[in-house]
Amino acid sequence: MRLIPLLLLLLMLALFLITLLQPFAGSGWLQAFAEAAVVGALADWFAVTALFRHPLGLPIPHTAIVKRRKDQIGTNLARFVADHFLAPDVLARHLQQLAPGDRLLRWLARPQAQQALSGHLLTALHWAVNALGEQPVREFSQRLLRQNLSSEKLSRWSGAGLRYLIENDRHQPVISLLLEQLATNLQRQNHAIRQRISAGSPWWLPGFVDDRIARQMLARVETLLLLMAADPRHTLRRRLNMQLHRLARELEQGRHGDTLHEYWQQLSQRPEIQDYAVYLWQRLVAEINRQSDDDDSLWHREIRAWLAQLADNLAQDDAMRSRLNQWLGDALVEVISTHRQEFAQLISDTVAAWDGEETSRRIELQIGPDLQYIRINGTLVGGSIGVLLHAASELLG
């Protein structure tokens, strides 16, 4: 592309010299055109060249602009991208058109994607369990666990978890279900309990008497359990609820931390517990290693079947698919817009790390061909202006 404006410049020079050395009728018009065209061509050559290097190697001020202001250009580019491409409203509008949930669904419905995803999940699990089996990793994990299971933290975490469970009476349906199950199991074991009571009664007490007492006692306990299950405002239920709230507050204040920590230490240090944990861990590692190497293993098949079922159900549920699009869009907008300055900094740092000469060369290779048209236009526009000036000169005598 540089050759075309260069040849055009040489043509204008030749035309200027011919009209200057061998004038003829009307040559003044051609000479004016050629002279102004040469000026325009040289001026635009200087302007285009000055963007990337010093013209003729001369350190003229305000030349080699890209090389000299590379870092500032990178910073301005990063700011422009952050402000105009990563702005929340721009991202939201684009992601709404993109429909990320639908794209995820189409990808998830492909058997190749299900195969790849199940393989990635089991490979990651395989790596994790084998890494945890290494002595340094195990010691580090145990040390970290001990630090985070101090008596105070254990108490506060337990209190926070209990408070979340009982907040706004979320636990009431669970308590009702447990009480119903207790009453049901008590009824099922009624005969066995009466036999145990009869076997432990004094010899002098008639059997029908202790059996009657046992029947009445069990009936009353069963009735009480059913009443408590049916009525969340039952006196005993309310008392239990108050005790749970008080316990949650005390745990969050760290008042039972030492007791919990002691129970945890006693439980974790019992030989039978440790042996069983080692046994379970070894079986888990062996099973994961076996399953992850076989693409047709049970775990692979189950994961693929679950993914296929998930994709099929999402495809048939327009409301859920719309929610998925909204959730993914909102999540992406939140993440990208929150960290857009970091993305911009990445652009700025990347440009700053480039070599000035190399950066100038890369940019010139990308936009240089278009810039050569500026030189061509400068030659032709300059020549036209020369003709107009010559015409004005002739008219003014």
- pLDDT, residue 183, reads 87
Tell me the pLDDT tens digit for each residue of 195-241. 777 766 665 656 666 677 777 888 888 888 888 888 888 888 889 88
Burial class (CB in 10 A: 0-12, 13-18, 19+), 375: buried
Cβ partners under 8 Å of residue 223, min gap 6: none
Domain ranges of the chain: 3-68+355-395, 99-148+276-316, 151-269
Q: Could you report the per-residue pLDDT of 343-393, keeping only the tens digit for each? A: 888 888 888 888 888 888 888 888 888 889 999 999 999 999 999 999 999
C-alpha span between 200 and 194 (Å, rounded):
10
Longest dimension (CA), the chain: 152
Entry pTM: 0.51
Q: For residue 15, what are its two tokens?
A: 């035309």
Q: What's 134's DSSP letter?
A: S
**Nearest Cα residue to 282 out of 293, 290, 271:** 290
Contact in structure between 2 and 372 (CB atoms under 8 Å): yes
Q: How many CA atoms lie within 13 A of 386 on its CB side?
A: 22
Q: Each residue's pLDDT tens digit in the chain (397 positions)?
A: 889 999 999 999 999 999 988 888 888 999 999 999 999 999 999 999 898 888 888 888 888 888 888 888 888 888 888 888 888 888 888 888 888 888 988 898 898 998 888 888 888 888 877 776 666 656 666 666 666 666 677 778 788 888 888 887 778 888 888 889 988 888 888 778 777 777 666 656 566 666 777 778 888 888 888 888 888 888 888 898 888 888 888 888 877 777 776 776 676 667 776 677 667 777 877 887 777 777 788 888 888 898 999 889 888 888 888 888 889 989 989 988 888 889 888 888 888 888 888 888 888 888 888 889 999 999 999 999 999 999 999 898 7
User: What pLDDT, on a 0 to 100 scale, did the predictor assign at position 210?
Assistant: 66
State the Cα–Cα distance between residues 310 and 324, nearest whole angstrom.
Answer: 12
CA–CA distance, 176 with 330 (Å, rounded to integer): 38
| pLDDT value of position 357 | 84
The DSSP secondary-structure symbol of 171 reads T
Identify the DSSP state of 330: H
**pLDDT value, residue 18:** 92
In terms of C-beta distances under 8 Å and separation of at least 24 residues, what long-range contacts does 191-195 make, across chains too?
193/218, 194/218
Q: According to the model, what pLDDT value does residue 208 have? A: 63
Helix (H) or strand (E) holding 142: helix 135-148
d(CA 73, CA 356): 12
Residue found under tokens 């042996």: 275
DSSP string, 224-255: HHHHHHH-TT-HHHHHHHHHHHHHHHHHHTTT
Structure confidence at residue 204 (pLDDT) = 60
Q: Cβ-count burial of 293 within 10 angstroms (0-12 exposed, 13-18 middle, 19+ buried)?
A: exposed
Give pLDDT, residue 200.
Answer: 67
